Amino acid sequence: MVWVRLGLVAFVLVWLFDLAGARFYVPIWAAFLVALGLELHYFFGARRVRPRIRERDEGEELLLVRDGDEEFWIPYAGESPDKVEELVAEARAQAEADETVETDVPAEQRTLRPLLVGLGVIAALAGIVWIAGPRGWDGLHDDEKAKATALFSAEASRIVGRPVEIRCDESRRIVGAVQHSDGIAEVGGDLAYLTPDRCHDLYRQAFGGGGPFSQTARAIAVLAHESWHLRGERDEGTTECFGLQSGVALARRLGASDDTARRMMRQQLAENALRAQGGVEYLVPPECRDGGELDLDPGSSRFP
């Protein structure tokens, strides 16, 4: 079992550093499940016992007798069948009364200690993976990231009306240099950056069944906001207003129901005043309302 535990340690290190694409080919939970199974198999296998066989005297022959599922070695020197039955009965009684048994492994390995040590090793390694392992956007494989950013770019292009590209700022040196720290885009350009956290929120919504409501809503609003900058809108308040309206359809395309999509963007509109305290330019103007000058769908009474 020592080699099994060392092998588990080695695999965890390989997985943490993603050597040879280990994260893509082997889920970390599978290794821990196998290790747990081996520990339990070793522990319960070691506790299987067999009756102690008495050492025979010199010149004495032993006879193996099967009695149901049990086997007994009894001394035999040509006894009659009746005598053999008596000897079997004595052997059975002795086996039931004899609490001293031998096992296939040393006595110290028949205790709970080896199992507890093994479980401790598994728990410690799981803790290391939890603390030091990649999370969020950084924990995704390159293929998953590429698939996600292609989708984000396609959705942004749909809002802009021409091909544009969305990237996730994994270096964390681009987004945050301006006031709007969730994303950045060149007005009228063809490239925008989102923070890895927002990219992961969008990824979970599109591919993972969704995440926390507020975080998902904010990520959708940010993607739509930066898309309107790429479309050419410069004013931050107007861009936010347009983004929240476009965010309803965007959320639906990413898997949300119509009701959920509208609740998401209405929440973002309600929270706009709070976020605008850090920069009044992000406050949506009074015209951002149903039937207002910034209403993109004046024929509908639902806003956003």
- Beta-carbon-side half-sphere exposure of residue 293 (alpha carbons within 13 Å): 5
Q: Judge whether 110 and 93 are in contact, CB under 8 Å.
A: no
Phi-psi sector, 161: left (phi>0), alpha (psi -120 to 50), beta = left
Give mean pLDDT in consecutive 10-residue pieces for the chain, a chain of 304 residues.
Answer: 74 67 62 76 62 50 69 69 75 64 49 76 74 74 95 98 96 69 93 96 93 96 98 96 98 97 96 77 93 95 93
The CA distance from 154 to 285, in Å, is 29
Q: Which of 101, 147, 125, 111 is nearest to 4 (CA)?
A: 125
pLDDT at 171: 86
59 SS3 class? coil
CA distances in angstroms from 195 to 49, 168, 175, 214, 219, listed in the order given: 60, 6, 6, 16, 9
SS3 content of the chain, % helix, strand, coil (to 5): 60, 10, 30
Report residue 79: phi and psi, to 5°. -65, 155
> What is the C-alpha to C-alpha distance for residues 293 and 302, in angstroms, rounded to an integer?
15
pTM: 0.61
Give, in order, the Cα–Cα distances in Å from 74 to each of 62, 66, 67, 96, 300. Answer: 5, 11, 12, 15, 95
| C-alpha to C-alpha distance for 301 and 304, rounded to whole angstroms | 9
* pLDDT value of residue 136: 84
Name residues whose C-beta falls within 8 Å of residue 250's C-beta, 6 or more positions apart in sequence: 155, 159, 220, 223, 224, 261
CA-based torsion, 9, 10, 11, 12: positive or negative? positive
pLDDT of residue 37: 77
Q: Give the start-to-end residue ranges of the domains of the chain.
A: 2-48+106-133, 54-97, 139-282
pLDDT at 46: 58
User: What local confidence, expressed as pLDDT, does residue 260 receive?
Assistant: 97
Tokens of 69: 């599922």
pLDDT at 219: 97
Rounded CA-CA distance 123/35 in Å is 11
Classify each residue of 260-269 as buried b or exposed e, where b means 16 or more C-beta atoms within 10 Å of its C-beta: bbbbbbbbbb
